[in-house]
Amino acid sequence: MNSQDVFFPIIDGIILDLKGLSSINHSCASNNCKISQCCCSHYEVLISKAELSNIINVIPHASQYSRNLRLDKDFGNVFEDEGRNTYSIDKNDNGFCVFGYKAKGRKVLCSLHQAAVDMKIPINSVKPLACILWPLALVESEPIILSVQEEVSIFPCNQDRTSSTLLLDRGIAQNIEIAFGGAFLNKILKKIEALNGNSRGSR
């Protein structure tokens, strides 16, 4: 086995870029978001047909927060068919995701996330996987690779780590757990602990 392969283990069919995952600290400080420096406006969000169905089911509740989802007494179509069972989520005139909204204290929040909390259903059953994982990303490969999205250090919620020690930041670990579950996260932490000589794998 190549010495570099230990830093790219395969867990549950996903290649983990352990050095990449350990290279960043993440804290979602939504009151620091600006339209030009916010993940809700910087990216085009692509979703699967299954994710589309899940989102449609909670739009009535999400519209209590994102008012632009309503069209008179009905709801507008805020999705574009990109082909091959893939869809994109529309943005408003300011380039902001239609599911984003400004809450008290100028916080930028996601109405899908809030709808899941209100309805007491798992966040990953409503919110797109790409949004849950950010600033991480799944890179198309065979198998797919879980790593860090490019250029995330331009956002105020992310800071580069300079230490060479493998370590998952709490914010990164939380996103992984929401997306893939606690068992998956624990497998990553155990792998990191083994590579670090049984030192702690997250802070």
Q: What is the pLDDT of residues 131-182, one digit of tens each?
A: 999 999 999 989 999 999 998 988 889 999 988 789 999 999 999 999 999 9
Question: Bigger pLDDT: 46 or 5?
Answer: 46
Does residue 39 fall inside a structural domain?
no
Q: Which two tokens stand for residue 63?
A: 């519209």
Does residue 59 fall inside a structural domain?
yes
Residues 113 and 169 reside in one and the same domain: no
Residues 117 and 138 reside in one and the same domain: no
Cis ω for the linkage preceding 143 (within 30 of 0) = yes
**pLDDT band with cut points at 50, 70 and 90 for residue 1:** very low
C-alpha distances (whole Å) from 196 to each of 8, 86, 104, 122, 186 are: 14, 40, 42, 33, 15
Residues 138 and 100 reside in one and the same domain: no
Does residue 37 fall inside a structural domain?
no
8 A C-beta contact, residue 169 and residue 203: yes
Residues 53 and 117 reside in one and the same domain: yes
Does residue 162 fall inside a structural domain?
yes
Residues 138 and 116 reside in one and the same domain: no
Domain containing 81 equals 44-121
Contacts of 123 (CB under 8 A, 6+ apart): 113, 116, 117, 132, 178
Residues 85 and 149 reside in one and the same domain: no
Does residue 36 fall inside a structural domain?
no
Q: Which two tokens stand for residue 2?
A: 């190549």
Give the per-residue pLDDT at 95: 86
Q: Residue 177 class from Cβ within 10 Å (0-12 exposed, 13-18 middle, 19+ buried)?
A: middle
Q: Residue 156 class from Cβ within 10 Å (0-12 exposed, 13-18 middle, 19+ buried)?
A: middle
**pLDDT band with cut points at 50, 70 and 90 for residue 8:** very high
Q: pTM for the complete prediction? A: 0.88
Give the per-residue pLDDT at 156: 86
Q: Which two tokens stand for residue 3?
A: 């010495």
Number of domains forming the structure of the chain: 2
Does residue 142 fall inside a structural domain?
yes
Closest listed residue to residue 16, CA positions, set 122, 154, 145, 191? 145
Give the per-residue pLDDT at 5: 82
The domain boundary, picked from 70, 92, 121, lies at 121
Does residue 199 fall inside a structural domain?
yes
**pLDDT band with cut points at 50, 70 and 90 for residue 30:** low
Does residue 173 fall inside a structural domain?
yes
Residues 91 and 66 reside in one and the same domain: yes
Range with the largest mean pLDDT of 69-73, 88-92, 153-157, 161-165: 88-92
Helix axes 111-119 and 49-62, enclosed angle (nearest 10): 80
Percentage of the chain exceeding pLDDT 90: 67
What's the mean pLDDT in 58-65?
A: 95
What's the mean pLDDT in 80-108?
A: 88
Report how far Cα 51 is from the mean position of its chain's Cα atoms.
Answer: 14
**pLDDT band with cut points at 50, 70 and 90 for residue 53:** very high
Residues 65 and 88 reside in one and the same domain: yes
